[in-house]
Structure 1
Amino acid sequence: MSDRVFLLWHVHHVAEDESGAVRHFDADGDFRADEEEGDDVKLLGVYSSRENAMARIERAKELDGFRDEPECFYVSEYTLDEDQWTDGFTTI
């Protein structure tokens, strides 16, 4: 069994940048989603390989909504049993 998993996300982008355009990536090239600004983030699944996640993207592109935003998929890779949030938090 692999110690890696691949999460597949889709974002219906609503948030716009200063010019009024929807931005899929930030200045560093990282995928961007801002739920506070109205972006709708959906987890489509967790896969054992990037190839399986990519195959799911192709299937999802045939479905209502997803076919209208084919550039809004993102695959993130994680190591199993590895902490992702290592600091506390403060509520303001």
Structure 2
Amino acid sequence: MNSVYVLHHVRPEEDDYYEDVKMIGVFTDIAAAEAAKTALLSQPGFRDYPDGFHIDEYELNKIHWQEGFGDPS
């Protein structure tokens, strides 16, 4: 296995600066991540925001954020 698949759900809030982000799970293949998404689509909250699901592939043993944090000022 060289990669994992991370399933998130993002729901926008009324505040323009906030999103409700839920990390659902980490899966060994895309099919398992898609199956989890399908299972959750009928659940309260998730069914109201079906487009909020995101599946991202992450290569193992790799730094995925190589930049530092920006200066907030």
- Identity across the alignment (%): 32
1:16-66 per-position Cα deviation (integer Å, ceiling 9, x unaligned): 8xxxxxxxxxxxxxxxxxxx7121111000000111000001111121100
Count of aligned pairs between the two proteins: 72
RMSD: 1.9
Distance 1:89 1:58 in 2: 35
- Tell me the residue number matched to 2:13: 14
Q: Please report the TM-score for the alignment, with normalisation by the length of structure 2.
A: 0.86
> For residues 81 and 15 of structure 1, do their structure 2 counterparts lie closer, same or farther at Cα, with a shift above 3 Å needed?
farther
Distance 2:34 2:64 in 1: 23
**Secondary structure of 2:65 counterpart:** coil
Match of 1:67 among 44, 47, 68: 47
The runs of 4+ residues in structure 1 deviating greater than 3 Å are none
Q: Please report the TM-score for the alignment, with normalisation by the length of structure 1.
A: 0.69
Gaps of 5+ in 1: 17-35
Q: Which has the higher strand share?
A: 2
**Equivalent position amino acid for 2:4 in 1:** V
Alignment of 1:1-80 (within 5 A): 2-14=1-13, 37-80=17-60
- How far off is 1:90 after superposition? 4.3
